[in-house]
């Protein structure tokens, strides 16, 4: 099933409410870009590729709801929606990329407003379908890096739930498993929202892939004792030099892997690479509400004392020097990333032209 899709019957956006998993699988429907922005901000939908496609459909909803009679007013309505959507999660570059792609499609068309409304929906649907195809290509490339019998440490959730379908880093693991390789996954809890233990573990159960959940701070132990052979995680934005922003905790995991000579791979579509940023220090890091940290309970009791404060950055930046390679839909990129990343992006452009 797709985590994000257009509902032809209700003429609105349908998504899995990921806040309820694994206890409940529930689909929710949204009719306005404001509602979609709220869903992105509140992590009803999460994962850079899924956020991007959801935002693209958010622009399409703005188009369907617009009462504009001319193109100028119509674009104004879409731009207002775009600003709301882009502000929902500032770190993930896919969100801005997807929104701008839909806007540019409209701006470059000479069609009347009635046809432009259809065009926005067609563009968003095209992006959703492309996301699935791109993920499957990444999975094929990345699965070659996983050997028979490997134990892989995986951080956060990068599966079908984080994309339209299939997944990035977890998609690689799934493809390796379905290719017949016997592998095991150590699933970081990924605090404070526990996307690993809630979402990744749930997905692995659906696929029949063996796994164990571990606390985030146990990863170093498994790496130091040789009980893990690979580390895989996704990405929310990558700078031109290969520095990558991903879910908080990725940096510490990569450091521990690097210290123990364990390969570290980030898996991402080329749309996540931001060539306008020379290094990862320029990537905006979202800081979320402290309640996500302070609200954690243990055995039914609050963990934090009343009156405590907290800091809650949602992402950190892993320096390119800690990465063994970068898995994209056009192949695996190896250092020097400053030289090789532009080549893989060019490969993406050539592939799109070939289509």
Q: What is the set of active-site residues?
A: 236
CA–CA dist 61, 83 (Å, integer): 14
Angstrom distance (rounded) from CA 179 to CA 160: 18
Helices (H), the chain: 33-41, 48-65, 71-86, 93-107, 113-143, 169-178, 195, 201-207, 219-224, 250-259, 291-294, 337-354
Structure-token pair, residue 144: 């070659």
Instruction: List Cβ neighbours of 26 (8 Å cut-off, separation of 6 or more).
Output: 16, 17, 20
| Nearest alpha carbon to residue 45 among 160, 188, 125, 197 | 160
Q: How far does Cα 39 stand from its chain's mean position?
A: 15
Contact 86, 54 (CB under 8 A): no
């Amino acid at each position: 099933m797709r985590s994000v899709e257009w509902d032809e019957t209700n003429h609105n956006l349908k998504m899995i409410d990921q806040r309820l998993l694994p206890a409940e699988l529930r689909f929710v429907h949204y009719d306005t870009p404001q509602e979609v922005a709220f869903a992105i901000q509140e992590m009803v939908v999460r994962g850079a590729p899924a956020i991007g496609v959801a935002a693209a459909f958010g622009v399409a909803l703005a188009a369907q709801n617009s009462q504009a009679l001319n193109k100028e007013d119509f674009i104004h309505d879409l731009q207002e929606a775009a600003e709301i959507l882009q502000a929902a999660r500032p770190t993930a570059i896919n969100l801005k990329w997807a929104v701008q792609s839909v806007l540019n499609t409209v701006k470059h068309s000479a069609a009347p407003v009635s046809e432009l409304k259809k065009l926005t929906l067609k563009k968003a649907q095209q992006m959703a379908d492309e996301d699935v195809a791109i993920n499957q290509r990444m999975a094929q490339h990345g699965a070659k890096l996983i050997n028979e019998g490997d134990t892989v440490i995986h951080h956060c959730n990068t599966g079908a739930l984080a994309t339209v379908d299939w997944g990035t880093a977890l998609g690689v693991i799934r493809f390796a498993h379905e290719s017949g390789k016997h592998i095991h996954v150590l699933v970081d809890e990924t605090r404070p929202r526990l996307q690993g233990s809630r979402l990744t573990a749930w997905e692995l159960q659906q696929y029949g892939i063996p796994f164990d959940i571990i606390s985030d701070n146990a990863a170093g132990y498994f790496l130091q004792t040789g009980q893990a052979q690979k580390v895989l995680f996704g990405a929310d934005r990558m700078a031109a030099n290969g520095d990558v922003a991903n879910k908080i905790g990725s940096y510490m995991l990569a450091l521990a892997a690097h210290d123990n000579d364990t390969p570290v791979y980030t898996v991402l579509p080329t749309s996540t690479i931001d060539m306008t940023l020379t290094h990862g220090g320029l990537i905006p890091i979202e800081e979320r509400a402290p309640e996500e940290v302070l609200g954690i309970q243990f055995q039914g009791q609050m963990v934090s004392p009343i009156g405590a404060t907290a800091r809650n950055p949602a992402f950190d930046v892993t320096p390119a020097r800690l990465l063994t390679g970068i898995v994209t839909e056009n192949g695996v990129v190896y250092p020097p990333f400053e030289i090789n990343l532009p080549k893989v992006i060019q490969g993406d452009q050539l592939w799109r032209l070939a289509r």
